[in-house]
Structure 1
């Protein structure tokens, strides 16, 4: 007999594919590969002993057996939702949603999203802070329900919803020769001394790769996990840095100038490709009602505090 969690996973795949028009579209909706979806449908058909779909070059359509199965699959899905809702109502105080967040969560308004959900729903939540690469491992191991991850690696094991975009800036002292430029290219920085985020971290590796693509090996004089320390080194003219705009503190001693061409980073809400609990669905429903400005309000405020040239506003 098929395990319950696997059965629900296959049921979700069937219902999605039944909406058409193709395996490709259904796989994209589910956030899995087409081969994974095909395997699920084949396994489901094997367990029933009959074909549920007719395949053609124009797409897929339900067989008579598939139409019968759809009738009951919808009922099962509805019963599962009703069970989850009642379970949440009766026992929600015994459950907790666990969120993994990047260290810059407050700068991107992520903690505000979670706190709003807690106030509006009454659900209990816990937060674990870690680097994006570590959050991906935690999410994959089931150690958190959701993770807010910067530049998620694109694995098919996760679904993701965009929270906000950010762009990289050149950070230097206001006395730096490039301080008055509206934009800066990486090629202009080949002779600079850099202070980056911790060695081996995703931001560190990204900056090193960008410099190499620009044709030079960066002269890295230091690394630090504290943003204030990096900014202080830059403010004193001891080094420059490459940071995402949203996490640069407001400091009159520095400039933060956009790169040309732009380097854009995305922050995503990530979760696993598995049937969701009622509480998890409740959070997703809440999240999807938020407008873009409410999802990333802190970033918007911070950008409005900067001048059009990317420098810190007075």
Structure 2
């Protein structure tokens, strides 16, 4: 048994198809099929049930995958630790980001990181948060940068460690003059009262997104049932729809920078005390964090904890800044 065998079998299990796995591994389908049959003959058990579609694991296969992932994780930890010991700054890190957060954060992190670690191959994978967490647990990612976790992900969180990168404010975004003084907190034109907002036509992300989970908990804590007018999959789209007066939305500061709305918008804090969520680096509790990985966290924290954002437009059509962009 060698590492190649473990990788090949795990890839087939992940893809649930020998053809797809062969494409992923850059080998021919007949060669991979022969390889699997040879391994099964050596072990004296069938690892895959070929009568099902998609391909499924037998009980023996499930046990093989469980041990294989542990061995691959140990091998990965050993390689990273020995790399640190030797100070040989060559290797790779596999990083996950949600789609929109990747386009916002990576261009600001990677130049500084490359300068410090020119020999490290940074491999990026973008997807939804739950998929990223699964890939961490399966050893397919070293870590992922994700917002707020609610500690209720089918037991996933108990196997993950979290490190704070920075905290980020959430804002109500509306077209100009949609929200009037009746929604303000203590007549403050920069902050709205959550208790007065329930009847506004909200554009929310669909359930399953981290922001939707956070907002459901936030409104629930105020015992408010918001008027959800539309559900979509993109914060940026929600922000742009709000700017077109198709509803109002709540998004992180990042999204306002990314959306580049065609028309000016009004931006309000949620209550007088800013509502913030945490942006975290998640990794397996049993993972060894290399110097290269720790430095990625540190650089990300340095970049975004110091990054400023022009937070508010005046509700009377006289914005604090002509652009609403970060300073």
* TM-score, length basis structure 2: 0.59
Please state if 1:89 is matched with 2:97. Answer: no
Deviation (angstroms), 1:170: 0.9
Distance across 1 between alignment mates of 2:302 and 2:313: 19
Aligned pair partner of 2:138 in 138, 141, 155? 141
The 1:296/1:131 distance shift into structure 2, 3 A limit, reads: farther
Q: How many residues align?
A: 226
Spell out the pairing of 1:1-314 with structure 2 (5 A cutoff).
83-85=82-84, 89=88, 92=90, 95-106=91-102, 109-121=105-117, 122-154=119-151, 155-178=157-180, 181-248=189-256, 249-251=259-261, 252-260=263-271, 261-276=273-288, 280-287=289-296, 290=299, 292-296=301-305, 300-301=307-308, 303-304=309-310, 306-307=311-312, 313-314=321-322
The 1:102/1:296 distance shift into structure 2, 3 A limit, reads: farther
| Structure 2: runs of 5+ lacking an equivalent | 1-77, 152-156, 323-327
Deviation (angstroms), 1:159: 2.3
Distance across 2 between alignment mates of 1:287 and 1:123: 11
Distance across 2 between alignment mates of 1:172 and 1:222: 14
User: Does structure 1 retain, via aligned residues, the 8 Å contact 2:163–2:282?
Assistant: yes
The equivalent of 1:53 in structure 2 is none
Distance across 2 between alignment mates of 1:139 and 1:205: 21
Distance across 2 between alignment mates of 1:82 and 1:211: 45
Structure 2 residue matching 1:143: 3-state secondary structure: coil
User: Does structure 1 retain, via aligned residues, the 8 Å contact 2:165–2:297?
Assistant: no
* TM-score, length basis structure 1: 0.61
Structure 2 residue matching 1:112: 3-state secondary structure: helix
Distance across 2 between alignment mates of 1:170 and 1:203: 13
Which is worse superposed, 288-297 or 193-202? 288-297
Q: What are the superposed Cα offsets for residues 34-55 of structure 1, whole Å, 9 maximum, x if unpaired? A: xxxxxxxxxxxxxxxxxxxxxx
User: Does structure 2 retain, via aligned residues, the 8 Å contact 1:183–1:309?
Assistant: no
The 1:135/1:312 distance shift into structure 2, 3 A limit, reads: farther
User: Does structure 2 retain, via aligned residues, the 8 Å contact 1:163–1:269?
Assistant: yes
Distance across 2 between alignment mates of 1:245 and 1:178: 22
Distance across 1 between alignment mates of 2:103 and 2:79: 38
Deviation (angstroms), 1:220: 1.6
Distance across 2 between alignment mates of 1:111 and 1:138: 23
Distance across 2 between alignment mates of 1:153 and 1:259: 20
| Structure 1: runs of 5+ lacking an equivalent | 1-78
Q: What are the superposed Cα offsets for residues 238-274 of structure 1, whole Å, 9 maximum, x if unpaired? A: 2111111222235452112111143210001122122
User: Does structure 1 retain, via aligned residues, the 8 Å contact 2:170–2:274?
Assistant: yes
Distance across 2 between alignment mates of 1:81 and 1:209: 39
The 1:285/1:202 distance shift into structure 2, 3 A limit, reads: closer
Q: How large is the RMSD of aligned CA atoms in angstroms?
A: 3.2
The equivalent of 2:46 in structure 1 is none
